[in-house]
Amino acid sequence: EWISYETWLDIERNAAPSGVNQMFHSDVSFWWYDTNVQMLKTAYGAAGIALACAAVIIFISSRSFVLTIFAAISIMYVLIAATASLVGLGWELGFLESVLFAILIGISCDFVIHFGHAYTMYTGSVSRHHRSHFSLTHMGPSILAGAFTTFAAAAVMLLTEITFFRKFAVMLFMTIVHSTIGCLVVYLVLCDCFGPAEPTKGYDTIRAKLCGKKKD
């Protein structure tokens, strides 16, 4: 709305004669528009910083460039899907939502890190199908158990009177749902179809060149 007014005034300023071409418009509600813009920028900035930090942690734990890319794709899916679900519920960006949006990324990368670590457990060249199967069978039950306990915690928070806890419970529920889908479907499918047989080979090669090979 403010942009529409300002665009119209720009046209009128250019058409007005000198001396009366400096008019401007103002309203108390415009302060809220600026606040919304700043909250949106803060949410995007926090999401970008959290995603970058998550990628660094995932790379340190997996030591694989490819798995880090797969993990970033999975986290982006969780962010987009969870945000779309909340928009579908009628949510709008506010103070609480901008804070919760930054927290969402930290939760969404948890499951992916576990699968990525399990994928790299074998040393040497091992089929990506075998690595993916190993990750699913060894980490899958733990991931599902963690998702169930988080669902239980979210269900308890839904019964509280404080608005922040109720909204956090809804966001937590949506995040865990899509995090489970993201790690079991998106991430593992990418690993099974395109995953490297030697996930740490690139990292080990660069490290050997920089630090020198270990002597036997």
Confidence at residue 215, expressed as pLDDT on a 0 to 100 scale: 46
Q: Are 60 and 49 in contact (CB under 8 A)?
A: no
Confidence at residue 213, expressed as pLDDT on a 0 to 100 scale: 58
DSSP symbols for 180-203: HHIIIIIIHHHHHHH--SSTTHHH
Confidence at residue 216, expressed as pLDDT on a 0 to 100 scale: 45
pLDDT per residue of the chain (216 residues) written in tens, 0 to 9? 667 777 888 888 888 888 777 777 777 767 677 777 777 787 777 778 778 888 888 888 888 888 889 988 888 888 888 888 888 888 876 667 777 776 777 777 778 888 888 888 887 788 889 888 988 898 889 899 988 998 898 889 888 888 878 888 888 888 889 989 988 899 999 998 988 888 888 877 887 888 865 544
Q: Are 195 and 70 in contact (CB under 8 A)?
A: yes
Distances (CA, A) of 113 to 92, 120, 135: 30, 11, 11
pTM of the model: 0.76
